[in-house]
A = this chain, B = another copy of it.
Amino acid sequence: MALKDLKGYSVPFSPKGTAQIVGGLPWNFGVDILAVHYRTDPDQIRKLLPEPLELSKEEPDVAYVWFGDWQGLWSGHDGMLGVNPERTQYTECLIGVRCSHDGVEGQRVVYIWVDKDFSLTRGWFMGFPKKIGTVHMGTRNRHLHALNPAMQACGPGSRYAAICESHGERLVTAAIDVKQKITPDKLPKPFGTDLFHTLHFPSADVERHDKPLLHQLVQTVSSDLKFGEIWEGEGDLTYHASAFEEHTALKPKEIIGAYIIPVGFQIRGTRLLHEYD
């Protein structure tokens, strides 16, 4: 059949185009983030920045962990909360670092785990190097805390942990002790800076599988940023040893701050920065 008769932004292609793992742009998100920002060894950050990326000129030693309780929609899927919310909701734990590209300050997610296939592959299409993991966050549905006789409304005195596990190993444990509400402009960089990510599809060609079929440096383009009620607090962060993961090389030397950030935005796509040959 003609190629155009097979529908899908992504595979599997199908006659109606509803079997695909994830649909096309734009992608609209709402997320509840539990973030811990910290300082680490900049030499370890440098080891994760392929050329032409460089260390941040402003704060070469700043990294962060974000736990996220996400709700995402792809194009044509806007009513999904009313059909099967499982295809909308996912959880995530990511480790990012400050960096710079061509003199522009930005950030790069270097390790990231999510619990759903559509998020893993959509992430890959934007250059997030996602793997599957399990995430639990104490901030979920926190409108319930004021109703539970043994909890308290989110505010000073609240403590929320978040954990990430993958392949049977605990990888990350974080926590925030909530202190005060802040406005979005008080969020420290790299919030608001550009995301510099790598699109990569390796080759399995029998004759030349040492060279990837796709290898680009891209920047994420987003819009419609809208914040909910943001809380600032003190943070804890532990990276646990793993047989596979190398995140412990980025272990914290000093905690900068911790934040609860409900935020929504649209991802409009990526912009090519550099093509590796």
Contacts and interface: CB of A to CB of B under 8 A. Distances in A.
Given A116-B132, A224-B149, A228-B147, A85 B18 contact: no
Chain A interface category by residue count: 35 or more
Contact of A170 (B150, B170, B244): B170
A58 interface: no
B160 A85 contact: yes
A111 B12 contact: yes
Interface in A66-118: 69, 71, 73, 78-79, 81-89, 110-112, 116-117
Contacts of A256: none
A205 interface: yes
Which of A9, A24, A85, A265 has the largest number of chain B CB atoms within 10 A? Answer: A85
Copies in the complex: 4
B246 A148 contact: no
Nearest to A134: B168
A110 B226 CA distance: 40
A251 to B, nearest CB: 14
A66 to B, nearest CB: 15
B163 A86 contact: yes
Interface string A112-155: 10001100110011100101101011101101111111110000
Contacts of A209: 24-25, 269
Given A21-B131, A270-B206, A276-B3, A30 B168 contact: no
B73 A148 contact: yes
